[in-house]
Amino acid sequence: MNKIPSALSLGLRRGGLEIRQFARQRESVVFTLLFPVILLVIFGSVFKDTIAPGVTFSQYFLAGMIASGLVNTGFQALAITIPLERDFGALKRLRGTPMPASSYFIGKAILIIVSMVLQIIMLLGVGILFFNVEMPTDPQKWLTFTWLVILGSACSTALGIAFSIVPKSGRGASAVVSPIVIILQFFSGVFFVFTQLPSWMQQFAAIFPLKWLTQGMRSVFLPDTFATQEVAKSWENNRTFAILIIWLIIGVFFSVRKFKWDRD
């Protein structure tokens, strides 16, 4: 009798399968991957102002779009597609096999990381080619960027899986999830300069990860002189790190403890 494959190796297999399935759904490829790029093109073309010396709105918006891309491809996509898979009975069927839940989660995380990397490449490409956004040269900034993307994707994946228990049905999932994401984007300084928002909005947004991701991304793509224009007069990257870790733990906890395989 051979041994059952390990959870990790099954997770990698699931990752491959998730990517293959995703690539074959053209609508979702277009919607999840290209939507933030299209928004960048629209906003970048409409708002050409300079918001601070040497800082254009396009730069500000690019940082915000990369951050909200993490939320779109992770949290939003999972919180909508998992309830659909549950409605189809696909999750229940998986539950009946020796594949453990952790492998399913690993597979989703792989899909999110891969689509995230593709999206970031497209966003940066558009930013550089059309809006003259300059890439940072300081290696320290790229280090910050790397941990923001990894931690942000992990956080977004975990929270998306956790939130998938909320929508009652697959059909209704989009109606529950999308408004939450859009409101968070408005409150978190993606579409507007954060410090120009009413302070109650700022305080509300500060509870959730998106505000911290956008701020972290600004620390990468905006000159350090802009830090004084932030609410705390600094980039607060340590605090961003801590808050993302807390949300990651919350997401993992609910994913592991409350995940629903079957519609009741």
The two tokens of residue 41 are 């093109």
φ, ψ for residue 120, nearest 5 deg: -60, -40
Q: Which stretch binds another protein (CB under 8 A): 49-57, 83-91, 122-130, 228-236?
A: 83-91
Q: Which stretch binds another protein (CB under 8 A): 98-106, 200-208, 226-234, 247-255?
A: 98-106
Give the integer Cα–Cα distance in Å for 95 and 19.
20
Q: Which stretch binds another protein (CB under 8 A): 95-103, 148-156, 185-193, 211-219?
A: 95-103
CB of 95 to another protein, least distance (A): 7
Q: Report if residue 258 touches another protein, rule: CB under 8 A.
A: no
Q: Report if residue 98 touches another protein, rule: CB under 8 A.
A: yes
CB of 106 to another protein, least distance (A): 14
Could you tell me the CA-to-CA distances from 184 to 27, 126, 210, 214 in Å, in that order? Answer: 24, 24, 7, 11
Give the integer Cα–Cα distance in Å for 141 and 237.
11
Q: Report if residue 27 touches another protein, rule: CB under 8 A.
A: no
Of 10, 62, 159, 177, which one interacts with another protein (CB under 8 A)?
10
Give the CA angle between residues 24, 30, 34 to the nearest 5°.
Answer: 140
Q: Are 38 and 17 in contact (CB under 8 A)?
A: no
What does the binding site for another protein look like in residue numbers (CB under 8 A)? 1-5, 10, 13, 17, 20-21, 24-25, 84-85, 88-90, 92-93, 95-100, 261-262
